[in-house]
A and B are shown apart, each in its own frame.
Chain A
Amino acid sequence: EAGVTQFPSHSVIEKGQTVTLRCDPISGHDNLYWYRRVMGKEIKFLLHFVKESKQDESGMPNNRFLAERTGGTYSTLKVQPAELEDSGVYFCASSQVSGPSDGYTFGSGTRLTVV
């Protein structure tokens, strides 16, 4: 089966611009997560979708970040306007069952650089 797909793999944008990251989860996985790793730091939770509904968005840093999952399939994460501190690797993960017991399947990430 295809894994979790993220694109673009890399994005370099100027401060103030808008960027949209996309994640295609494994087919049939109702749970979709976004995480972010800022250079040298821990991987941090951003939010969790169950189908098209936001189950937990407590990790979203501020209102410049908007996540959507229309139709409960792929998800997008938009950053508008981007700031320098938004640079990092954005990971998407999906799972079939609720709870972390199956460990989730992560995508390869999108490396965002804001200059």
Chain B
Amino acid sequence: DQQVKQNSPSLSVQEGRISILNCDYTNSMFDYFLWYKKYPAEGPTFLISISSIKDKNEDGRFTVFLNKSAKHLSLHIVPSQPGDSAVYFCAASWGGSEKLVFGKGTKLTVNP
């Protein structure tokens, strides 16, 4: 009963192009969403978040879009850089809970 789903295990893009990572969720109670980036042998690093009262949040090259009716969010990276190559995890929480529910991750490879 996975509540946060990242259906693409991997994604490969060319340097300079846009990377779009997708995430779907099933629990309509989720009201806060986060993206983490993880390099091998390191812990996840917080990237960007969005509250359910918004539909978009930007931070530099990273933008997260939230479509509540579709229970879908996406992370856009523009332009993609080789250093962005990592595993990206989508996570969600609800009601101010400290507990995060993660997806399985998508491995992004940005080719020079």
**Considering only CB atoms, which chain B residue lies closest to A98 in the complex?**
B98
Chain A interface size, under 10 / 10 to 19 / 20 to 34 / 35 or more:
20 to 34
In the assembled complex, the CB of B20 is this many whole angstroms from the nearest CB of chain A, namely 20
**Considering only CB atoms, which chain B residue lies closest to A47 in the complex?**
B99
Encoded as 1 (CB less than 8 Å from any B CB) or 0, chain A from 8 to 29 comes to: 0000000000000000000000
Asked if B32 and A100 sit within 8 Å, CB to CB, the answer is yes
Encoded as 1 (CB less than 8 Å from any B CB) or 0, chain A from 62 to 73 comes to: 000000000000
CA distance A44 to B100 in the complex (A): 8
- Point out which of B98, B99, B100 has the most chain A C-beta atoms below 10 A from its C-beta: B98
**Residues of B near any A CB (own CB < 8 A):** 2, 4, 32, 34, 36, 41-47, 49, 89, 91, 93, 96-105
**Residues of A near any B CB (own CB < 8 A):** 4, 31, 33, 35, 40-45, 48, 55-56, 58-59, 91, 93, 98-109
Asked if B104 and A100 sit within 8 Å, CB to CB, the answer is no
CA distance A8 to B47 in the complex (A): 26
Asked if A99 and B98 sit within 8 Å, CB to CB, the answer is yes
Asked if A55 and B32 sit within 8 Å, CB to CB, the answer is no
Contacts of B34 in A (CB 8 A): 100, 103
Asked if B46 and A103 sit within 8 Å, CB to CB, the answer is yes
Residue pairs across A and B with Cβ atoms less than 8 A apart, 15 shown, are A4-B43, A41-B104, A42-B101, A42-B102, A45-B101, A58-B99, A59-B99, A93-B43, A98-B98, A99-B96, A100-B93, A100-B97, A103-B34, A103-B49, A108-B43
Contacts of B44 in A (CB 8 A): 43, 91, 106
CA distance A42 to B88 in the complex (A): 11
- Using A43-B44, A106-B44, A108-B42 as known contacts, say yes or no to A101 and B101 having CB atoms under 8 A apart: no
Contacts of B97 in A (CB 8 A): 56, 100
